[in-house]
Amino acid sequence: MNNKPPPQKLQHWSVLFASTLAFTVCFTIWMMFAVVGIPIKTALGLSETEFGLLTATPVLTGSLVRVPLGLWTDKYGGRIVLFLLMLATVIPIWLISYATAYWHFLALGLFVGLAGGSFSVGTPYVARWFSKRQQGLAMGIFGAGNSGAAVNKFIAPVLIGLYGWVVVPQVYAVGMLITAILFWLLSSTNPSHHSGAGVSFARQLTMLKDPRVWRYSQYYSVVFGGYVGLSLWLVKYYVTEYGLSIQHAALLAACFSLPGGVLRALGGWLSDRFGAYKVTWGVMWVMWVALFLLSYPQTAMIIQTTKGPLSLDIGLSVVPFTVLLFVVGIAMAIGKASVFKFISDDFTSNIGAVSGVVGLAGGLGGFILPIMFGALLDFSGVRSSCFMLLYGTVCVSLVWMHFSFRPLAEEEAIRHASAQKLATASGKL
């Protein structure tokens, strides 16, 4: 008896593996300045806002190219688009090791940021190889490549400690080239997946008139934009708030980045099983509670009592802070997958274009947030202000979800009540 899986099924999983590997490497390089930026900040004497801009610059181009990359994926196929995209970043990554001025890093960061657009290529490319009931899981597994943010925190500090920061972009450039070749060898092409062939870009973009696209974009700007923003910011936060070394800070920051990437597959499975709305709603409430606690700054109070002054110190030490970040990372991982389950359910024939727009919104969130984190810190001097900002964005999402889905819930309740009445009437007859 032959128990071997059919060749087509093996092809599906080979595509998923190759794409996930490629996305993981791309995301690792996309987040490079989260660690490398710290010695660069010290060497150039940058302000907090300038540091935020440095780390966020690659995120800008990685976000802006997501829409055209999603459209090209629909039109030409994900294999060739992702392969060429990876090759285009190799030289800019290498040249970072020769940069000396602030504007050098910003300019090269714009080109390196192209790697971040790989998500809008891989998502529709992978999804079309699987049936609708498996798409949430497949996209979740692919999206686990977000764990590249944690991989960067493991690799870059070691390289910096041994050889200095200039070696990091050289190692990453070679890694990107090797990964691009492996991706091409392990992936496949199916012309029937090119749903955008013969369709103009203008026609593909008509979906922007759909309010659901903007709603999902806002959700994704919170769960993905927040993930990217914190991944870029946390190493420096640990260094300045708790006085840790870069190596220790990166390791603790990975406690957020790693589950925030790897557990995206769990989010896909949960979304397939319970539906995108229930999962996303639960994610937002978990984040609401955790970010509220993280927002509270280190506080010292003196209370005048009948027995004299009473001193109180309120704040999070390293351990509870890291535990709360771990919870936020899990919630964001699940939320990233559930938002894209919305897209695969509602825009089956236009996944590439819609995922490009939603990915653009999430990426822009990841670009703007580190800059705002730095500006808020420069203005207020309160380091936990970054969590206050994220807490506000979650509040917006909860309110929007409530008013957007309430009519649908009421309609479903009416249908359910009508069905019960009909069943009761039939029983009496």
Cβ(81)–Cβ(114) below 8 Å: no
Contacts of 252 (CB under 8 A, 6+ apart): 234, 238, 244, 318, 322
pLDDT, averaged across the chain: 84
Residue 270 pLDDT exceeds 60: yes
In a domain, 429, yes or no: no
Looking at residue 62, which CATH number applies to its domain? 1.20.1250.20
In a domain, 157, yes or no: yes
* Choice between 246 and 268, residue whose per-residue pLDDT is larger: 246
In a domain, 150, yes or no: yes
Average pLDDT in the 246-270 region? 84
Q: Which of 9-13, 39-43, 201-205, 353-357 has the lowest mean pLDDT?
A: 201-205
What pLDDT is recorded for position 273? 83
CA-CA distances (angstroms) from residue 422 to 417, 418, 428?
A: 9, 6, 10
Question: What is the total count of domains within the chain?
Answer: 1
In a domain, 3, yes or no: no
Distance (Å, whole) CA 235 – CA 84: 32
In a domain, 323, yes or no: yes
In a domain, 2, yes or no: no
In a domain, 44, yes or no: yes
For 249, the domain range is 8-424
State pTM to two decimals.
Answer: 0.75
Nearest of 222, 216, 275 to residue 404 by alpha carbon: 216
What pLDDT is recorded for position 387? 93
Count other C-beta atoms under 10 Å from residue 171's C-beta. Answer: 16
The SS3 call for residue 275 is: coil
The DSSP string of 45-94 is T--HHHHHHHHHHHHHHHHHTHHHHHHHHHHH-HHHHHHHHHHHHHHHHH
Highest mean pLDDT among 116-120, 158-162, 341-345: 158-162
Cβ(8)–Cβ(188) below 8 Å: no
Contacts of 109 (CB under 8 A, 6+ apart): 33, 54, 57, 58, 96
In a domain, 409, yes or no: yes
Report pLDDT digits (tens) over 186-203: 988 776 655 554 445 565
